[in-house]
Amino acid sequence: MTSARACLVAIVVGTVACGAKALPEPILLVEPPAVVPTSATACPPPVGDDAQVQSAFAYARGCVALVDADVSPVTARPTVWRHEAGEWREIPLPGSADDRVNHGWVAAATDGFVIVGVLDTRVESTGPELTIVRSFDGGATWQPPVFVAKPHYFAAVKSLDVRVGGLASITLELDDDYGDGAAPGTYRVDSGDRGGTWGVVRLVGATSTTAR
């Protein structure tokens, strides 16, 4: 009786036919658009003279440009412009990434699918950290920002490497001993999930220099 009742319930709710095994849900694999780096001249967004195109990427239907807008000696604003179907559109960055006044794009790279961008201060202000943003759809939308502490405020991003398999790394350089415990030299921080989370920044090459 118990078995028959269970079978009846299964038929009513539509989960499985009586006497048949439940079939697994189909897995739908959606491949993101392939992305490749391109030049700013090949992907020129409609921005003014006070804007600077820092990086550009091409995909099947158009291109996306990472732009520092409203640039002056004391200001900057990171923006994204995307070209599709013959039209340019400015794409808002998520949350606090869009509010990073005086920040600009210092690095960007792709593994062929995800775009990883790094923001840092262009002028002196508080906040010794990098802001990481990512897009999985050719720049149409961007994930919430991830923050990575720098070894020192004056440490500058030298390179960003994003590799197939989810591995990414950021290399920074601190050019002097500023007397607060951060040794001058080359630093690196790594990610194993396409920039979603990052490890601890570590010194990978010390530099001997005179303190200021």
- Note the pLDDT of residue 180: 79
pLDDT at 14 over 60: no
> Which residues form the domain of 162?
25-206
The count of domains in the chain is 1
Tokens 């009586």, residue located: 18
101 belongs to a structural domain: yes
104 belongs to a structural domain: yes
- The pTM of this model reads 0.79
> Which of 24-28, 64-68, 158-162 shows the lowest per-residue confidence on average (mean pLDDT)?
24-28
- Note the pLDDT of residue 7: 40
168 belongs to a structural domain: yes
- Which of 11, 66, 13, 16 has the alpha carbon at shortest distance from 37? 66
113 belongs to a structural domain: yes
pLDDT tens digits, 92-131: 998 766 666 678 899 999 999 999 999 998 776 556 899 9
CA neighbours closer than 13 Å in the CB half-sphere of residue 148: 30
16 belongs to a structural domain: no
111 belongs to a structural domain: yes
- Which of 136, 141, 44 has the alpha carbon at shortest distance from 91? 141
Question: Cα angle vertex 169, ends 164, 173, to 5°?
Answer: 150
6 belongs to a structural domain: no
Q: First vs last Cα of the chain: how many Å apart?
A: 86
Q: Are 94 and 80 in contact (CB under 8 A)?
A: no
Question: Cα angle vertex 122, ends 181, 128, to 5°?
Answer: 30
C-alpha span between 20 and 117 (Å, rounded) = 50
Which residues does 128 contact at the CB level (< 8 Å), separation at least 6?
Answer: 149, 150, 152, 153
Q: What is the mean pLDDT of residues 134-152?
A: 94
Q: 52 forms bridges with which residues in the sheet?
A: 68
C-alpha span between 77 and 67 (Å, rounded) = 8
14 belongs to a structural domain: no
- The rounded Cα 30 to chain-centroid distance in angstroms is 20
| Three-state SS sequence of 145-202 | CEEEECCCCCCEEEEEEECCCCCEEEEEEECCCCCCCCCCEEEEEEECCCCCCCCCCE
